[in-house]
Amino acid sequence: MNTTVVTPALVKELRDRTGVGMAKCKEALDQAHGNIEEAISILRKAGMTSAVKKEGRLTKEGMVLAHEAGDVIAVVEVDAETDFVVQNEKFREFCKNIAEEAAKTKPASVEAFMQQPYSKDPQITVDQFRSLLIQTIGENIVVRRLELFPKKPDQSIGIYSHLGGKLLTAVVLEGPGEEALARDIGMHVAAVAPEYLSPESVSQEVIANEKEIAKVQVQGKPAHIMEKILEGKLNAFFDLSCLTRQKYIRDDTCTVADFVKKQGASRGKNLKVLGFLRWVAGK
């Protein structure tokens, strides 16, 4: 069995993610042998937390930005050590150049991207371009991740940036010419932070874990009603975690899926949400 030393920092991380008191967090971590995800399940089974925050505090600083070039939109995250550097014009210009480069060259991965020649100075690689900035600024700079969104004639892509580039969302809709609507859904994604697109996209492993947690919470209930209670708890999980099942923040009388469908009907289009991205710098 893997065992992690339960340090005060680990207890604090669990406290930040769950809102449960430090003493109970320490007990859960001891029981879980230092495994923080298992400790979260223990707390949930004990009914100590009804909604675990999946995101902890920012551990480092950075920017997430998008750039459109031709038939693709590139989303890139670049991290630094301090917010002071993130506000530096040289850093921000570097981020802009990196996003442009990714959209222009369409790399298959971050690793491949860093090793390819930098188009504005082919004598150096993108990684060497990064190293030059490190020498200038004096902090470590990391191109952490990138995602490419191909533009298709029968789809719409909306980009929403928040907190000066610390948080960025992208939403893909089926249906053309609806970038503004996709961006509005992106604002919802930024605010509500769904983990999955729809119940169909949730893995069986996650569903099994949720069922196990629910079973512990309803122990002692009559057998003939337990199945209905479990079904209700699973549906509540989907309503909380899946974008298409969440209540839309601008119209809580309907779900996101229903809102998009109604907007499409009013315009004579068949619209639905196909996918989304939500990145927080440093997360």
Q: Which CATH class is domain 58-151?
A: alpha beta
DSSP letter at 55 equals -
> Phi and psi dihedrals of 237, rounded to 5?
-65, -45
pLDDT the model gives residue 228: 85
Q: Domain residue spans in the chain? A: 6-57, 58-151
Q: What is the pTM of this model?
A: 0.77
pLDDT the model gives residue 2: 59
Query: What is d(CA 132, CA 134) in angstroms, rounded to the nearest whole number?
Result: 5
Query: What is d(CA 154, CA 172) in angstroms, rounded to the nearest whole number?
Result: 11
Tracing tokens 């892509």 back to the chain, one arrives at 157
- Reference 95, options 70, 77, 109, 111; nearest CA is 77
**Low pLDDT (below 70) residues in the chain:** 1-3, 19, 21, 47-59
AA identity, residue 47: G
CATH of 6-57, one of 3.40.50.2000, 3.60.20.10, 1.10.340.30, 1.10.8.10: 1.10.8.10
pLDDT the model gives residue 37: 85
Paired with 79 in beta bridges are: 62, 142
Q: How many CB atoms lie within 10 A of CB 18?
A: 21
- Reference 19, options 44, 38, 2, 1; nearest CA is 44
pLDDT the model gives residue 54: 35
Q: How many CB atoms lie within 10 A of CB 167?
A: 19
pLDDT the model gives residue 57: 32
Query: What is d(CA 142, CA 89) in angstroms, rounded to the nearest whole number?
Result: 16
Paired with 243 in beta bridges are: none
